[in-house]
Amino acid sequence: MSRKHILGVSTDAPNASPADNLAGKTRSMPLLGVARKERDPATKLTANIGNALREQNDRLSRAEEIERRLAEGQAVIELDASAIDPSFVQDRMAGDIDGLLASIREQGQQVPILVRPHPDQPGRYQVAFGHRRLRAVSELGLPIKAIVRDLTDEQLVVAQGQENNEREDLTFIEKARFAYHLNKQFAREIVIAAMSIDKSNLSKMLLLVDALPSDLIDAIGAAPGIGRPSWQQLAALVEKAPCLAEASKYALSDEVQALPSAERFKAVIANLKPRGVARGLPEVMSTPDGARIAQVTQSKSKLEITIDKKATPEFAAFVLEQLPTLFQAHRAQNQRKQGE
């Protein structure tokens, strides 16, 4: 069965065999035969912002066309949102849906979601696509408009993946994680069909997700605008990090979690990058409120701390008095670690 008939909907699109679809360098026909606009690689580097915005709008229109074709000849019904479960393969991470909430609140739900009867729980349903709409409608306490189709697991994930690819609102790490989870449950051909990518890109996604701790990805979030090269840089830094737990702990800190997701990513990168040792160049050590404590000068062989006795004579005397005690505490700590 070719991919354009994956959900059993006939179209007038040209026939294409699975072998042709998977072996070619260009993307195969998408779900329901909605034609994709092929892009000449030579024009990518010269495309201006206007072209990029037009292409994004075109992709959104094609995604909506997928859903309209699904709706043709299919009854759109209203379901209790609480009776619908997400897909068994996660594609999205928690993110902001304020814009979608406002749109549905003002204009109602314009496009139905696609669900199937839940394979294990009678009376319940499972989403193929429309997770953000389901979340928004649930928060608004409204019934949700849906099309109910009998779908196999393979049909569900292909529909889920292709609709997301057309919308292109999933970030790179969300797509990579989706591919990673699919790869654990389905044949490679199904993953490629769902993601509309070739084997090489799929392999890169799988290796990347495998190299990063899942709790670190969760702590960073979807990271809009952060592409594969940046995530690969993070994976390389994680590989060299002396303590992976510290990286995740930093990402989960209140300070970092207060940032937007993309900024969390940048903060984690900055935290993991090795810090160069300034040789012979003094640095000022200050308290959190800005009070100057001392001047620190580091070289390859020594560390010098200079305290202004005129400004803080009592502090200078206190440091001298406490140094022996600090050294003893340091030595005792090392001995405990060695004994463990």
Are 221 and 94 in contact by the 8 Å Cβ rule? The answer is: yes
Chain segment 74-93, per-residue pLDDT in tens: 678 888 888 888 877 766 66
Whole-model pTM: value is 0.46
For the purposes of burial, counting CB atoms within 10 Å of the CB of 130, is it exposed (0-12), middle (13-18) or buried (19 or more)? buried
- Render pLDDT for 102-111 as a digit per residue (tens, 0 to 9): 888 888 887 8
Provide the token pair at 20. Answer: 């042709």
Question: Residue 108 — left, alpha, or beta (φ > 0 → left; ψ -120 to 50 → alpha)?
Answer: left
Residue 152 tokens read as: 């196999």
Tell me the C-alpha distance between 235 and 257, whole Å: 20
Cα–Cα distances (Å) from 205 to 32, 208, 289, in that order, read 26, 5, 44
**Residues spanned by CATH 3.90.1530.10 within the chain?**
3-207
CATH of 3-207, one of 3.90.550.10, 3.50.50.60, 3.90.1530.10, 2.40.50.1070: 3.90.1530.10
3-state SS class at 308: coil
Give the integer Cα–Cα distance in Å for 50 and 59. 14
Low-confidence ranges of the chain (pLDDT < 70): 1-74, 90-97, 162-169, 275-282, 288-290, 339-340
Name the pairing type of β-strands 125-129 and 84-85.
parallel
Rounded to an integer, what distance in angstroms lies between the CA atom of residue 150 and that of residue 70?
13
Predicted confidence at residue 220, as pLDDT, reads: 93
